[in-house]
Amino acid sequence: MDYKKSGVDIEAGYKSVELMKEHVKKTMRPEVLGGLGGFSGAFSLAKIKDMENPTLVSGTDGCGTKVKLAFLMDKHDTIGIDAVAMCVNDIACAGGEPLFFLDYIACGKNYPEKIATIVKGVAEGCLQSGCALIGGETAEHPGLMPEDEYDLAGFAVGVVDEKDIITGKDLAEGDVLIGMASSGVHSNGFSLVRKVFEMTKESLDTYYDELGTTLGEALIAPTRIYVKALKAIKDAGVTVKACSHITGGGFQENIPRMLPEGMHAVVRKDSYEIPAIFKLLQKTGNIAEDMMYNTYNMGLGMIVAVSPDKVDATMEAIKSAGDVPYVVGEIKAGEKGVTLC
């Protein structure tokens, strides 16, 4: 008996690392010390010394049951973008710059080419957000997970000067809410998605005119990364007073998280076009509108609050980063919470 016969292939692990190196290399920043394969990832903090009070911010997350879709479609090159996006968007939401990312892949069996393809997506997410992929772990779990399945998670660390942390404390009545378009469902609510739509190859390969693509391609579209948009706003001299990353829990859970006591957000549902995938999901599943807004991003992946005189500059900054902005509401005095009208 040996380790391979028990279900853990060490040689496959070595091959996976070799295959992923070309993707990881593309994400390197000057601050990264050492190469891939060490016991830890090292990142120099010399460049943050110019900050008055450098503060580390972190985020950890996974892709939820969206990975099931990747299994069914045998498409593994974008799920890594989702894993990175869920972490770095949270960091950017606090005003931080993502510095580095580490991934964790648990699998039933290590197929080196598949693992390298997953990591290729992780590396792409790191490139989009400007952070370095400085390490990770691929764990083979024979007997615990089916051979063809895996789970993907990770965490990111960023930095922000303490005075620039976005807290919502200076939010005032009359401040304007600007939403940034999402790329689709992102990485939340897929347990409900999988109950509404038949999860078969035939169903996922079905083309819908209203989607302009197949159901599977619309659902697996990677989560939008908003790091560059938030940086562009800051570079334009605009102070983001509050920020909300619209993830699990939708509008109802996430928007109040950006509000201090005594401030109430009002969002106008007709201020932007709700993407077709949400309309199809709601209609097919006979889902109540309140439940949709309490589960999904409904077309807005990130919402920022700025002073009224900074709206135009914010809109232009977001556009310059390649994102699509909408003025979606305003802040009013009142009980902490959100009203959709």
Q: Please report the pLDDT score of residue 40 as a whole number.
A: 87
Same domain, yes or no, for 201 and 139? no
DSSP assignment letter at 14: H
Does the pTM surpass 0.85? The reply is yes
Is the pLDDT at 173 greater than 70? The verdict is: yes
Query: Last residue of a domain, which of 103, 135, 164?
Result: 164
Q: Please report the pLDDT score of residue 15 as a whole number.
A: 86
Same domain, yes or no, for 67 and 160? yes
Same domain, yes or no, for 54 and 146? yes
The CATH code of the domain that includes 87 is: 3.30.1330.10
Q: What share of residues in the chain are helix, strand, coil (percent, to 5)?
A: 40, 25, 35
Q: Which domain holds residue 205?
A: 176-340
Pick the more confident residue, 15 or 174. Answer: 174
Q: Please report the pLDDT score of residue 16 as a whole number.
A: 85
Is the pLDDT at 152 greater than 90? The verdict is: yes
Same domain, yes or no, for 144 and 214? no
User: Would you say residue 51 lies in a domain?
Assistant: yes
Same domain, yes or no, for 33 and 158? yes
Pick the more confident residue, 34 or 64. Answer: 64
- The tally of domains found in the chain comes to 2
Same domain, yes or no, for 118 and 253? no
Taking the C-alpha atoms of residue 252 and residue 338, their distance in angstroms, rounded to an integer, is 7
Is the pLDDT at 8 greater than 80? The verdict is: no
Q: Please report the pLDDT score of residue 38 as a whole number.
A: 76
User: Would you say residue 2 lies in a domain?
Assistant: no
The CATH code of the domain that includes 243 is: 3.90.650.10
Is the pLDDT at 279 greater than 90? The verdict is: yes
Is the pLDDT at 5 greater than 70? The verdict is: no
Contact 223, 187 (CB under 8 A): yes
Is the pLDDT at 19 greater than 90? The verdict is: no
Model confidence band, residue 2 (pLDDT cutoffs 50, 70, 90): low
Taking the C-alpha atoms of residue 314 and residue 240, their distance in angstroms, rounded to an integer, is 9
User: Would you say residue 5 lies in a domain?
Assistant: no
Write out pLDDT tens, residues 42-68.
Answer: 999 998 888 999 999 999 999 999 999
Q: Please report the pLDDT score of residue 73 as a whole number.
A: 95
Which residues, 6 or more positions from 332, have their beta carbon under 8 angstroms from its beta carbon? 173, 263, 264, 265, 266
User: Would you say residue 1 lies in a domain?
Assistant: no
User: Would you say residue 199 lies in a domain?
Assistant: yes
Is the pLDDT at 35 greater than 80? The verdict is: no
Is the pLDDT at 14 greater than 80? The verdict is: no
Which stretches does DSSP call E strand in the chain? Answer: 32-33, 42-43, 54-62, 97-107, 132-140, 150-161, 176-181, 207-208, 213-214, 242-245, 263-267, 300-306, 325-333, 337-340
Averaged pLDDT, 172-188: 97
* Mean pLDDT lowest among 9-13, 68-72, 329-333: 9-13
Of the chain, the end-to-end C-alpha distance in Å amounts to 66
Is the pLDDT at 317 greater than 90? The verdict is: yes
Write out pLDDT tens, residues 228-266.
Answer: 999 999 999 999 999 999 999 999 999 999 999 999 999
Write out pLDDT tens, residues 99-125.
Answer: 999 999 999 999 999 999 999 999 999
List the structure tokens of 125: 């997410």
Same domain, yes or no, for 265 and 132? no
Tell me what the pLDDT averaged over the chain comes to.
94
User: Would you say residue 233 lies in a domain?
Assistant: yes
Closest by CA to 155, choosing from 142, 172, 127, 136, is 136
Query: Last residue of a domain, which of 120, 141, 164?
Result: 164
Closest by CA to 125, choosing from 18, 27, 59, is 27
Same domain, yes or no, for 21 and 158? yes
Contact 46, 31 (CB under 8 A): yes
Same domain, yes or no, for 183 and 158? no
Query: Last residue of a domain, which of 142, 164, 186?
Result: 164
User: Would you say residue 3 lies in a domain?
Assistant: no
Write out pLDDT tens, residues 194-205.
Answer: 999 999 999 999
Same domain, yes or no, for 255 and 276? yes
Rounded to whole angstroms, what are the CA distances from 58 to 158, 182, 336? 6, 22, 26
Contact 226, 314 (CB under 8 A): no
